Structure 1
Amino acid sequence: MSPELSKSGPIWSLGTMSGTSLDGVDAAMLLTDGNEILAFGQSDYRPYSDEERGVLRAAMGRWDGTEEAAAIVVAAHGALLGGIVGADLIGFHGQTVAHDPGGRGTRQIGDGRLLAHMLDCPVVWDFRTADVESGGQGAPLAPFFHHACARWMEADEPLAFLNLGGVGNLSWVDPGVEIPSDPGACLAFDTGPANAPINDLMHARLGREMDEGGALAARGRADGRILDRLSAHDWFDRLPPKSLDRDDFAWLLEGVADLGDADAAATLTEAAALCVARGLAQCPSVPARMLVSGGGRSNPVMMAALSERCDCEVVPIETVGLDGDMLEAQAFAYLAVRSARGWPLSAPGTTGVATPTCGGRLSRPEEAVEALSSGGEG
């Protein structure tokens, strides 16, 4: 291991995220020792083109035959990260295309060895496999970073961090517990569908990628029968931690098939808020605040629904000085340092793994020859 990675002090790590909403690639720099957050650095974003997005969408749910999509993921990340200088390490999440922790496992496409060669920088990747192989859900992985954020904020009471991407992820953290892998520090789980059904609806009906600003949902009325069916789903009886695949609630789109566009959007938006509220009820205590990141925080209809349904203050994460667009990328910058130093990325309270578990694969630039000769997708 190079001195930059093995030393105990802080290093600049560059994290990435390409989420299931398929909008593009986020990248963000973080100065951290894998425990504390010392500084936030440069960030950037590269949207996927319509053509790229189409290929990625076709790869969703596939366990093989995704070579073209994997190449797009690596090329897009390489183009974006090549413009950000000063990183000692890169945390490359890749693109999740399938997630079945109780069965076939989890699959993120994109080969970190190729990226290490392209950028001449060590890359940590394949973050989730070790957790799943150890009996965990493999997701969510951001809670330890959320715990670090709460301590960076000098919070003195439990907080909830809610990411509203394709799927909703909730982290309940107690900053009074110093070590994130210790019992009582973190509880985390997927709440249910968030933006994915709305985005799929907009794409299928209107050829648009999202309900910008919740404008369509604001003109509609949510269908109570569909919401009642959702609320009765056995997902909400399962104790956390727990995780979902992007399409586990695909029946919601079928449920709104006979509704007009506005009513369908309103129903799916309200459904996301309902899932979060049901999840919040499973937390150890009501948090002081719920800090919202991801695309959903820019949807005032969804935020209003959350405020109506949840028994705590619901605010965009920018309220506390954090960047809601880059939080997940920053999380993988943080996790990359922890992985490189052999520290846990998950714990029983975050993924259901039996014991705190490290994960990720560290690849160096010189390993590119092996990657090219292996013929694998990554």
Structure 2
Amino acid sequence: MLGGIAVTALGTMSGTSLDGVDAAVVETDGERIFAFGPTAYRAYSADEQQILRAHLGLWQGDDTAQAASVIEAAHLEVMSGFSDISVAGFHGQTLAHDPAGRRTHQCGDGDRLAAGLECPVVWDFRSADVAAGGQGAPLAPFYHFALARWIGARGPVAFLNLGGVGNLTWVDPSCHDPSDQGALLAFDTGPANAPVNDAMQARRGQPFDAGGQVAAQGTPDLAVLGAFCADPYFLLPPPKSLDRDHFVGLAAAVAHLADADAIATLTQAMILSVVAGLDHCPSPPERLLITGGGRHNAVVMAGLAAQTGLRIDPVEAVGLDGDMLEAQAFAFLAVRVLRGLPTSAPGTTGVPAPVCGGRISR
């Protein structure tokens, strides 16, 4: 047990985009944040990305040695650039995730990293939650609770991550602990950047709509949006999670539209799914802080402000790094695991009782 002493923790994250590894240092006792440290990024090469994509959908009993080698080598490379680290949090690369079947696979061996870094490594964060009946995601909300206190929030605040899929964490910082009933509510809101990015790539050979410039030139199709908002997912009570392809029909629904109108429709769908999600919150948050790529889209940010009536800001407005928040979260969670503290709870993953996930390689 670390007893509330500040620890220099390094966290890493490699997301489903397979673009590379984020790494970030946080000074924390697993409950409070004392300081943010240096960060780094290590991109996967085109060959490495091809190897990882070829292994998507494989489980622990399958032959994933080649993917594991890529993942471990890339992480060791970027993590070795940090000094004076007391513990490292290693998320690994998600190859398969099936919470209904109570299994998940984040590829990569913490033992190899612990040997290479010569410090304890916490890894396999999701398996215990999934085995106990939780969704295994999201895991950042416990970190969001600490962030809400770090920025001095007095009333409820919400963190909205607009990545491929949108996810929202509602935080009541007046609660004593993130595992307390009513402290957190977290869930996927709906499709975010993935449909927009896919359409931009297919139509214009561009990876995303930079700044929302294409969406700003178009007119959303109200019929498509009406059908989208009728999806039963939006009425399901949280916590709940989405597969990236749950709304795969959205692409076909805008296929007949001109480029700008299609992108405007998909962008508006992102906004409307967040508006629907906010209806599930116990009370309106005083502020909505945006992380992920969507925070750079002017149409999204203006649309959220207009349709929610809330104060909308990128997390940078409160001194946070929107590109490194998830890597920082796994540094924070690593310290919680060392202290035996919960990393998920009923309000975040739907697990029946708070769970301390993660394995420790010393």
TM-score range, shorter chain: over 0.9
Alignment deviations for residues 142-196 of structure 1 (CA, whole Å, 9 cap, x no partner)? 1111111111122110000111112111110011001110111111111111122
Q: Distance in 2 between matches of 1:217 and 1:71?
A: 40
Percent identical across equivalent pairs?
Answer: 59
Quote the residue 1:368 is aligned against: none
CA RMSD of aligned residues (A): 1.9
Alignment deviations for residues 76-127 of structure 1 (CA, whole Å, 9 cap, x no partner)? 2222111122211111112223333123532222222222223222211111
Shift of 1:250: 2.2
Paired residue for 2:176, among 167, 175, 178?
178
Verify the 8 A CA contact 1:100 1:245 in the aligned structure 2: no
Paired residue for 2:328, among 309, 327, 330?
330
Distance 1:91 1:262, change over 3 A: same
Q: Distance in 2 between matches of 1:154 and 1:101?
A: 35
Distance 1:243 1:275, change over 3 A: same
Q: Which runs of 4+ in 1 moved over 6 A?
A: none
Paired residue for 1:209, among 184, 207, 210?
207
Quote the residue 1:14 is aligned against: 10
Verify the 8 A CA contact 2:102 2:133 in the aligned structure 1: no
Paired residue for 2:69, among 64, 71, 76?
71
Verify the 8 A CA contact 1:194 1:296 in the aligned structure 2: yes
Paired residue for 1:244, among 239, 242, 254?
242
Quote the residue 1:317 is aligned against: 315
Q: Distance in 2 between matches of 1:229 and 1:159?
A: 30
What does residue range 105-120 of structure 1 map to in structure 2 within 5 Å?
105-120=103-118
Quote the residue 2:44 is aligned against: 48
Q: Does 1:259 align with 2:274?
A: no
Structure 1 residues 75-84 or 256-265, which shifts more? 256-265
3-state SS of paired residue (2:101): coil
Paired residue for 2:341, among 337, 340, 343?
343
Q: Distance in 1 between matches of 2:328 and 2:196?
A: 26
Shift of 1:349: 0.9
3-state SS of paired residue (2:23): strand
Which residues of structure 2 form unaligned runs of 5+? none
Quote the residue 1:38 is aligned against: 34
Distance 1:31 1:289, change over 3 A: same
Quote the residue 2:132 is aligned against: 134
Amino acid in structure 2 at the alignment position of 1:17 = M
3-state SS of paired residue (1:72): helix
Q: Distance in 1 between matches of 2:92 and 2:306?
A: 35
Q: Give the TM-score of the pair, scaled to structure 1.
A: 0.89
Q: Distance in 1 between matches of 2:105 and 2:258?
A: 35
Verify the 8 A CA contact 1:21 1:195 in the aligned structure 2: no
Quote the residue 2:24 is aligned against: 28
Which residues of structure 1 form unaligned runs of 5+? 365-378
Shift of 1:30: 0.3
Q: Distance in 2 between matches of 1:50 and 1:338?
A: 35
Q: Distance in 2 between matches of 1:61 and 1:217?
A: 33
Amino acid in structure 1 at the alignment position of 2:153 = A
Amino acid in structure 1 at the alignment position of 2:44 = Y
Alignment deviations for residues 318-353 of structure 1 (CA, whole Å, 9 cap, x no partner)? 111111111111111101100111110011111111
Distance 1:256 1:55, change over 3 A: farther
Distance 1:173 1:22, change over 3 A: same
Q: Give the TM-score of the pair, scaled to structure 2.
A: 0.93
Amino acid in structure 1 at the alignment position of 2:198 = D
Structure 1 residues 341-350 or 196-205, which shifts more? 196-205
Q: Distance in 1 between matches of 2:118 and 2:312?
A: 42
Amino acid in structure 1 at the alignment position of 2:222 = G
Q: Distance in 1 between matches of 2:266 and 2:69?
A: 32
Q: Does 1:166 align with 2:164?
A: yes
3-state SS of paired residue (2:11): strand
Q: Does 1:363 align with 2:350?
A: no
Paired residue for 1:154, among 152, 175, 183?
152
Verify the 8 A CA contact 1:14 1:89 in the aligned structure 2: yes
Distance 1:17 1:314, change over 3 A: same
Shift of 1:65: 5.4
